[in-house]
Amino acid sequence: MAENWKKHANERRSAAESTPSGDGSADNALELAIGQQVRAYRIQLDMTVAELAKQSRLSRGMLSKIENGLTSPSLGTLRALARALNVPVTSLFRRFEEHRGASFVRAGEGLVIERRGTRVGHQYQLLGHVLDKSVNVEPYLITIDDESEVFPLFQHDGVEFIHVLEGELSYRHGNEVYPMRVGDSLFFDARSIHGPEELVAVPVRFLSIIIAAPKD
């Protein structure tokens, strides 16, 4: 058992040392990703290179090249490896993925923006921005601390989701008015008139997430 652990530890160390650093934009990024996944599955099954090579009917040299990203395996070779490892062929591509971005905003650092409603005590903090142009998403933290009885009614494209974090209010959507307390949520078609109708307990804080088709 100790020898197997030491053997796999050495293999992981060798894999890390043989993997070039960078952002994955190298010409052989796909080959490297496949090789790393093959090695990971082999180690998980406690198989040696020789054992996997034999079961997949490959030479040890070829398998070594594949695991180190030095060759581009054919579909038939990938099928043979997947069969020997007892995994779907598609799982061998698991480590190959284009870079996906993220938008991180620390507490209290959301961008304060002006929108309809700001003038009557509505504060909008934008909590992130869209990194994918295929959809337009606007997440806001909205704070209302003004007890004015006059509230704007909004109407725009897309759908909207709101979730109450603090306070209590009545929220209108079309002809319906929903009493909302902490923990309550409302998901609706934003093309209908909507907005706070009455503030019952202030301050009111709620999340608002607007999802719409991309803007031209």
CATH classification at residue 87:
1.10.260.40
How many whole angstroms separate alpha carbon 92 and alpha carbon 74? 13
Where does a domain end: 93, 126, 144? 93
Is the previous residue joined to 88 through a cis bond, with omega within 30 degrees of 0?
Answer: no
| CA end-to-end distance (rounded Å), the chain | 62
- Give residue 174's domain range: 111-212
What does the pLDDT read at residue 23? Answer: 40
102 belongs to a structural domain: no
Residues 83 and 142 in one domain: no
Residues in the chain predicted with pLDDT less than 50, given as ranges, are: 1-2, 4-9, 12-25
Tell which residue, 139, 131, 133, 117, has the closest CA to residue 196.
117
What amino acid is encoded at 214 in this protein? P
What does the pLDDT read at residue 122? Answer: 73
**For residue 198, what are its two tokens?**
């009455």
The whole model's pTM is what? Answer: 0.53
How large is the C-alpha radius of gyration of the chain?
A: 27
**For residue 82, what are its two tokens?**
């997947």
What digits encode the pLDDT tens for the residues 10-65? Answer: 554 444 434 443 344 457 788 888 999 999 999 989 999 999 999 999 999 999 99
The DSSP secondary-structure symbol of 154 reads B
